[in-house]
Amino acid sequence: SSGINAEWPLRPGDEENGDVNDTAYPHPTGEIWHVASSPHHRQLISTCHSHVEGEVSLVTGATVWRLEGGPVVGDHGTPFLEEVGQLDAHTDQVKMTAWGPEGYENSLCSLGDSSLVHWGLDSAAVRQHGMCDLPKRSLASAIRWNPHSNGHLVGVCSDQHVRLYDLRTMKSTTVIENAHNQTVRDLDFNPNRQYYVVTCGDDCNTNFWDTRKPSEALLSFKNHSHWVWNVRYNYRDQLVLSGGSDSKVILLHTPSVASEPLHLEDEEERETENVEDEKDQLKEGVLEEYDKHEDSVYAVAWSTADPWLFASLSNDGRLVFNKVSKEIKFSIIL
């Protein structure tokens, strides 16, 4: 795509109908390969992009933009992207960017095929804070900021491994070797448990880890029939979404590695437990499979306004919104 489609909250009266309002922002630097919006500044986004020069040379890059004009920013003028700064410290192709967590609203990282750069934003420009090379002959695939590390740690997937980098030293502090048998495609940090992380990969697995004990996964699921591209924790961290090349979105229930694990009764209590209560209790594993896509699902995301609402995006450009069923919702909160 050579433009940005921006979405903003449902207007009063639209929620019941499920209406989504959007507007398009022309992207002046060619095709977009990745886009990330700041969770703190609604007008700031970053894109990774490419264009052809002289019909022979492919030029890649990454840029931070400010959305100007259009209803997204409360303006009825013509929508356009104003360049804030280029993320041009990489010598390789920039694959994706990640914005900093709360407390680090003006920070972001960019990930190249074999490099990681930490950036800071001020009112006038984007400035480089640090840079490091990833291990030789490795190929990076994903980056995620750790929300528990005072803004100092990011997780990076490369090949079959996951590494945590300290942005103060730009050095690796923890490695999960062979987190997957094939390429690791994505990771996410548990929002409520400091050392817990989930990963997914080309081996069709979704794995859960404690970074203090990285030698063995705490939990592993193989629910997709092809590569798993994206995985995301809900704020209620027993709920985890994944999307894959099998066109499915899967909702997992993982109370054994959540901040509020299932209460484990002793043997005598289990024997006298009533059967109806047992039926009502959600089991660990797959809660729902969503099959509204006809192509590979490359992205899933939870709403920051409604914890039971999520979206998924497939290769054919189809954006689907779903809600966790009331039965599952009430089983968790009651």
Region 161-182: what's the mean pLDDT? 97
Percent of the chain with pLDDT over 70: 87
pLDDT number for residue 267: 45
Tell me the C-alpha distance between 55 and 92, whole Å: 20
pLDDT digits (tens, 9 = 90+) for 211-228: 999 999 999 999 999 999
Q: Tell me the percentage of the chain whose pLDDT exceeds 90.
A: 75
What's the pLDDT at 120? 96
Residue range 227-240: mean pLDDT, rounded: 97
State pLDDT tens for residues 141-155: 999 999 998 889 999
pLDDT at 12 over 50: no
- pLDDT tops 60 at residue 236: yes
Decide if pLDDT at 266 tops 70.
no
What per-residue confidence (pLDDT) applies to 282? 85
| More confident: 164 or 23 | 164
pLDDT class for 112, splitting at 50, 70, 90?
A: very high
Specify which of 3-17, 92-106, 197-211, 317-331 reaches the highest per-range mean pLDDT: 197-211
36-57 residue pLDDT tens: 999 999 899 999 999 998 888 8
Residue 45's CB is within 10 A of a number of other CB atoms, namely 22
Average pLDDT over the chain, rounded to whole?
89
pLDDT tops 50 at residue 298: yes
Q: What is the pLDDT of residue 124?
A: 74
**H-only helix segments in 86-179:** none
Measured over the CA atoms of residue 69, residue 73, residue 75 and residue 76, the dihedral's sign is positive
In this prediction, residues 3-19 reach a mean pLDDT of 51
Helices and strands per DSSP (H, E), number in the chain = 3, 25
Contacts 24+ apart (CB under 8 A), 102-109: 102/40, 102/147, 103/150, 103/151, 104/145, 104/151, 105/38, 105/40, 105/41, 107/151, 108/36, 108/38, 108/46, 108/64, 109/143, 109/145, 109/154, 109/167
pLDDT score of 75 more than 90: no
